[in-house]
Amino acid sequence: MELQQLLDHLLFECQHSLTNISINGVTDSSSDIKPGFIFVAIKGYQTDGHDYIDDALSKGAAAIIGEKDGIVTSIPYIKVENSKKALGIVSAAYYQYPSQNKIMIGITGTNGKTTTSYMVKHILEDIGYSCSLIGTIQNIVNGEQTATQNTTPNALKINQLLSKSNDDIIIMEASSQGLAEYRLEGIEFDICLFTNLSHEHLNYHGSLEQYFEAKALLFSKLKKGGTAVINADDYYGEKLLHRLQAQGVSTLTFGETADANVQMKDLKLSYPYSVRLKDGIRSYEVTSPIPGYHNLFNVTIAYACAKVLRDSPVEIKEAIECFPGVEGRFNMVTFPNGAVVVIDHAHTPDAVLNCLQTSFESKNGKLYHVFGFKGDKDTEKRKEMVKISAEISDHYILTLDNLNSVPRDEMVQTLKELHKEFGNEKGEIIPDRTLAIEKALSMSKEGDWIVVSGKGHQAYQHTYHYPSHSDKETVLFFKEKTPEK
Ligand SMILES: CC(=O)N[C@H]1[C@@H](OP(=O)(O)OP(=O)(O)OC[C@H]2O[C@@H](n3ccc(=O)[nH]c3=O)[C@H](O)[C@@H]2O)O[C@H](CO)[C@@H](O)[C@@H]1O[C@H](C)C(=O)N[C@@H](C)C(=O)N[C@H](CCC(=O)O)C(=O)O
Ligand SMILES: Nc1ncnc2c1ncn2[C@@H]1O[C@H](COP(=O)(O)OP(=O)(O)OP(=O)(O)O)[C@@H](O)[C@H]1O
């Protein structure tokens, strides 16, 4: 492809002639540069891609894009305002704007993105579409699963996945960091979903308002004629709704609020969980295959999203009811003694509240809660999570989660302080996660529920007393060791 063609939508300065330069690929990683590539130098959190410009020259790059002034090279140096944004614009051009040729669904919100994305995929496949999925647990393209480092990968990776996909529809989770870091630059959507907004990632965004504005960026990427599907019960959902309506964007709302387009009525908050969805003059009772008030919302948003593409409520309802669930989202394991263990990814106060509340309403005995906090992440949310656990559970065990760069002793000290300040006499601290789970299990009896939250599908980052690699593996290991009654 001609270099000039790639730069069509980019604002830049360049001292070199840009004619007759052919580009064979785009990359922002010096290790992937091949002759004829354009190298986009990005200043990251760990490394500055501009330091690899000499490397790019020696590997035969045909042009460099960067945001630093005063760089002199023998090949065109294309100076832009923001390299991350430029990566999006250039990648979309190189892969010929693949998002324009697909039905694109983007999902944002604090909680429920992963669950909803899998549910939407399941429904749409059930009614005859093929779907790719880009999200937290994995990417699935043409039925092939690949590991992912980010919920929302960078713009280059997204365009590569889109151009590889032969599926009809792409369902993407859009994280606030992804949106703020221009990972969705150059991507357009047919349907954008807003699940909810609550306390999370404030270490990154600074305030709830800024966090909301990052989420709201997704909706500026709607194609002409696209639809925004919004939680009308949520304060920020309502704010977004008014903003989009003022811009003439087509919207579809859901929630318990009376004027929602898909109104949730008669919520049944015990097994079998169900909700009646009032959709215009029609009304459908839908049984949720996964427990919890929060999952009734996920069912509703998935219904509303599918309905935008195919107005077949009965087919959609039937598909929802046979949804198999998602790895690490309210996964229940029943022990021989009759206790139930729930493994859940809840790592925000709102998610912990939902997960504990659901377990509280389902238990027939005591409720135990094993949880911790990821190092380097939002620290402000921790006290709320401890307060909620102290309030709802009968006994909580604070334990370790991913430490990231935080030393173990420092995190244990943090747990002690949180326990002292916001917990109560019902709690204790067992740093080793596998021992914490073992302790909760040893206390449990028939009818008790044990919630192990925070990690869900994620593999352990550390080694513990028992040699397992995830909460699921730990729980199943103990289940195997427990004699049948
Ligand atoms: C803090 C953050 O956002 N980091 C993201 C960022 O990494 P970084 O800034 O550290 O990158 P870097 O290593 O400094 O490299 C900068 C540039 O130099 C280049 N480089 C680097 C080394 C080299 O030898 N040669 C070279 O060219 C790199 O290719 C890159 O272009 O850019 C990477 C590529 O896009 C991301 O994978 C990475 O996400 C990390 C893994 C991460 O954990 N991010 C979190 C904050 C995040 O984004 N989370 C959300 C989900 C949140 C949630 O809801 O739970 C997500 O979407 O994943
Ligand atoms: N609609 C919802 N409202 C509130 N909490 C929810 C909702 N859906 C799921 N949760 C809770 O949030 C946890 C994470 O759910 P899910 O993975 O679907 O969300 P997410 O937005 O993708 O989060 P992450 O990006 O961190 O994975 C679940 O394990 C559950 O405890």
Q: What is the DSSP string of 85-143?
A: HHHHHHHHHHTT-GGGGSEEEEEESSSSHHHHHHHHHHHHHHTT--EEEESSS-EEETT
Could you tell which of 150, 183, 329 is best to mutate to test the pocket of ligand 1, judged by most ligand atoms within 8 Å of the CB? 150
CA 31, CA 236: separation in Å to the nearest integer? 42
Ligand 1 atom nearest residue 28's Cα? 31
Please check if 111 is assigned to a binding site: yes
Question: Counting ligands in written order, which one lies closest to the CA of residue 29?
Answer: 1
φ, ψ dihedrals at 468, nearest 5°: -105, 170
Q: Map out the domains of the chain as residue ranges.
A: 3-94, 98-320, 331-481
Please check if 112 is assigned to a binding site: yes
Q: What is the mean pLDDT of each run of 10 residues along the chain (485 residues)?
A: 94 92 97 97 97 97 96 95 98 97 97 97 97 97 96 97 98 97 98 90 82 96 98 96 97 96 95 94 95 95 97 96 96 96 95 96 96 90 96 97 96 96 93 98 96 96 95 96 75
**366 CA distance to ligand 2 centroid (A)?**
24
SS3 190: strand
Pairing of strands 222-231, 250-255: parallel
Kind and range of the H or E run holding 396: strand 395-398
At 218 the pLDDT is 98
**346 CA distance to ligand 2 centroid (A)?**
6
**182 CA distance to ligand 1 centroid (A)?**
12
**154 CA distance to ligand 1 centroid (A)?**
8
CATH architecture, range 3-94? 3-Layer(aba) Sandwich (3.40)
User: Within a 13 Å sphere around the CA of 433, how many CA atoms are in the beta-carbon half?
Assistant: 30
Could you tell which of 110, 111, 218, 373 is best to mutate to test the pocket of ligand 2, judged by most ligand atoms within 8 Å of the CB? 111
Amino acid at position 251, single letter? T
CA 94, CA 37: separation in Å to the nearest integer? 11
**257 CA distance to ligand 1 centroid (A)?**
39
Please check if 334 is assigned to a binding site: no
**349 CA distance to ligand 1 centroid (A)?**
26
Atom 35 of ligand 1, residue of closest alpha carbon: 154
Strand-pair partners of 171: 105, 133
φ, ψ dihedrals at 181, nearest 5°: -95, 15
Q: Are 445 and 412 in contact, with CB atoms under 8 Å apart?
A: no
At 481 the pLDDT is 86
At 482 the pLDDT is 80
Topology adopted by domain 98-320: UDP-N-acetylmuramoyl-L-alanine:D-glutamate ligase (3.40.1190)
Q: Are 19 and 8 in contact, with CB atoms under 8 Å apart?
A: no
Could you tell which of 39, 42, 58, 196 is best to mutate to test the pocket of ligand 1, judged by most ligand atoms within 8 Å of the CB? 42
- Look at residues 22, 15, 54 and name the one whose alpha carbon lies nearest to residue 37: 22
Could you tell which of 110, 113, 115, 360 is best to mutate to test the pocket of ligand 2, judged by most ligand atoms within 8 Å of the CB? 115
What ipTM was estimated for this complex?
Answer: 0.97
At 37 the pLDDT is 98
SS3 384: helix
Please check if 329 is assigned to a binding site: no
Please check if 150 is assigned to a binding site: yes
CA 362, CA 109: separation in Å to the nearest integer? 27
The token pair at 102 is 């697909």
Q: Are 136 and 148 in contact, with CB atoms under 8 Å apart?
A: yes
pTM (2 d.p.): 0.95
Kind and range of the H or E run holding 331: strand 331-334
**62 CA distance to ligand 2 centroid (A)?**
44
At 485 the pLDDT is 64
Q: Are 449 and 358 in contact, with CB atoms under 8 Å apart?
A: no
Atom 18 of ligand 1, residue of closest alpha carbon: 49
Q: Please tell me the CATH code under which domain 331-481 is placed.
A: 3.90.190.20
Shared fold status for 3-94 and 331-481: no
